[in-house]
Amino acid sequence: MRVLVTGGAGFVGSHTVVSLIEAGHEPVVVDNFINSDRSVLGRIGKLTGNVPELHEADIRDKDAMTDIARTGFDACMHFAALKAVGESVEKPMLYYDNNVSGTISLVEALLEADVNSFVFSSSCTVYGEPETLPLDESMPIGTATNPYGWTKIMMEQVLRDVQLANPDWSVSLLRYFNPVGAHPSGLLGEDPVGTPNNLMPYVARVAAGILPKLQVFGDDYPTADGTGIRDYIHVVDLAEGHLAALARHAGDAGVHTYNLGTGQGHSVLELVRAYEEVSSRPVAYEITGRRPGDVAASWADVTMATEHLGWMTTRDLHEMCADSWNWQQKAR
Ligand SMILES: NC(=O)c1ccc[n+]([C@@H]2O[C@H](COP(=O)([O-])OP(=O)(O)OC[C@H]3O[C@@H](n4cnc5c(N)ncnc54)[C@H](O)[C@@H]3O)[C@@H](O)[C@H]2O)c1
């Protein structure tokens, strides 16, 4: 299939582009490189022997997106978004514009070009504060604690409404848990600009001696060691989840919602210990107060994805840390 991949130079998008090429598809990348680097395309080429077609464009530019969409696609995978929770609190309009208006422009372009299979990067953040665990897809969408979370809730709603008005549309809403790790080659990974917002890239930089210590936000949660629990998922497993959704639902009218996680939670300190083990480096940390908006624990019920997509993760926390460390060591 010829697949339009927005944000295809980013962390999850680039790994999915590799999986698409490896599966014989033809991904076409659209990115404005606001949070990624052009060199990613060359590295994808090195890995797969195939440098994907690239359009440097902003998804908010409807005319540009329409021209691109009209070149003909079987499906669109939509990764392009801003994702820094703290920044979204400081600059809410930037997030609503980039993520929500951007999605609207993109969808309008796809409607005009008659591309009707859509795979969307959603997030477990849409569930809000969990009342019971694990989280399953039938649970109501919660209240977001920051503008980034609201953009995901809004974009899901936009897509459900578009599907309702265009019954031949296929929309897959993929709710990621916590993507981490890197490609095992060490050629692709997460390379945040400035201080990382997410735990594993931060831990990686502490292990590498780039940052002095990790701040652990709270050790008084009702969890076994008191630190927050998350469902970490290896980015290559996540990429494979997208391919499974594409294979199952391209051209299959309706809205298809899936959690993509491992179904298992790990605490912050478990992750720190696993990282110390694979890197043979100490990861210094200090316990600080809880961070507003953080939930104590979150992990997925993955029954839907297992049963309907025939997909499940195969990479454990150890492998996630080992691949992250390999990527960190091959610092670009
Ligand atoms: N990484 C996570 O923890 C996580 C968790 C849940 C959901 N998600 C979602 O998954 C998607 C991909 O996340 P990621 O971690 O790969 O992020 P990323 O920042 O690495 O990738 C996003 C890509 O989109 C591009 N982009 C952003 N705005 C754009 C615009 N207006 N026009 C064109 N390109 C634009 C960026 O340059 C970047 O290459 C996002 O939608 C994100 O919200 C990520």
Token pair 């809880």 in the structure block, residue: 290
Token pair 């701040």 in the structure block, residue: 215
Handedness of CA 146, 151, 152, 156 (dihedral sign): positive
pLDDT at 142: 84
What percent of the chain has a predicted confidence (pLDDT) above 90?
92
Q: What is the pLDDT of residues 239-248, one digit of tens each?
A: 999 999 999 9
Ligand 1 within 6 A of CB of 259: no
Ligand 1 atom at shortest distance from the alpha carbon of 148: 43
Average of per-residue pLDDT across 77-87: 94
Cβ partners under 8 Å of residue 161, min gap 6: none
Q: Whose CA is nearest to atom 23 of ligand 1?
A: 7
Examine the pLDDT at 84 and tell me if it is beyond 60: yes
Examine the pLDDT at 332 and tell me if it is beyond 70: no
**Model pTM above 0.85:** yes
Q: What is the pLDDT of residues 33-72, one digit of tens each?
A: 999 999 999 999 999 999 999 999 999 999 999 999 999 9
Q: Whose CA is nearest to atom 29 of ligand 1?
A: 80
Ligand 1 mean position to 87 CA, how many Å? 14
pLDDT at 62: 98
Inside any domain, residue 200: no
Average of per-residue pLDDT across 246-272: 97
Q: What is the pLDDT of residues 277-308, one digit of tens each?
A: 999 999 999 999 998 888 999 999 999 999 99
Examine the pLDDT at 272 and tell me if it is beyond 80: yes
Rounded Cα–Cα distance for residues 63 and 270 (Å): 48
Inside any domain, residue 110: yes
Tell me how many domains the chain contains: 1
Inside any domain, residue 268: no
Ligand 1 within 6 A of CB of 119: no
Lowest mean pLDDT among 75-79, 263-267, 281-285, 291-295: 291-295
- Mean pLDDT over all residues of the chain? 96
Range of the domain at 84: 2-180+232-262
Helix H, strand E, coil C: the string for the chain is CEEEEECCCCHHHHHHHHHHHHCCCEEEEEECCCCCCCHHHHHHHHHHCCCCEEEECCCCCHHHHHHHHCCCCCEEEECCCCCCHHHHHHCHHHHHHHHHHHHHHHHHHHHHHCCCEEEEEEEHHHHCCCCCCCECCCCCCCCCCCHHHHHHHHHHHHHHHHHHHCCCCEEEEEEECEEECCCCCCCCCCCCCCCCCCHHHHHHHHHCCCCCCEEEECCCCCCCCCCCEECEEEHHHHHHHHHHHHHHHCCCCEEEEEEECCCCCEEHHHHHHHHHHHHCCCCCEEEECCCCCCCCECCECCHHHHHHHCCCCCCCHHHHHHHHHHHHHCCC
Inside any domain, residue 166: yes
Say which CATH number the domain at 247 has: 3.40.50.720
Inside any domain, residue 141: yes
Would you place residue 132 in the very low, low, confident or very high pLDDT band (cuts 50, 70, 90)?
very high
Examine the pLDDT at 192 and tell me if it is beyond 90: no
Inside any domain, residue 312: no
Substitution candidate for ligand 1 out of 35, 39, 87 with most atoms within 8 A of CB:
35
Question: Which residues are annotated as catalytic?
Answer: 148
Inside any domain, residue 99: yes
Would you place residue 197 in the very low, low, confident or very high pLDDT band (cuts 50, 70, 90)?
confident
pLDDT at 36: 94
Q: Whose CA is nearest to atom 30 of ligand 1?
A: 58
Inside any domain, residue 284: no
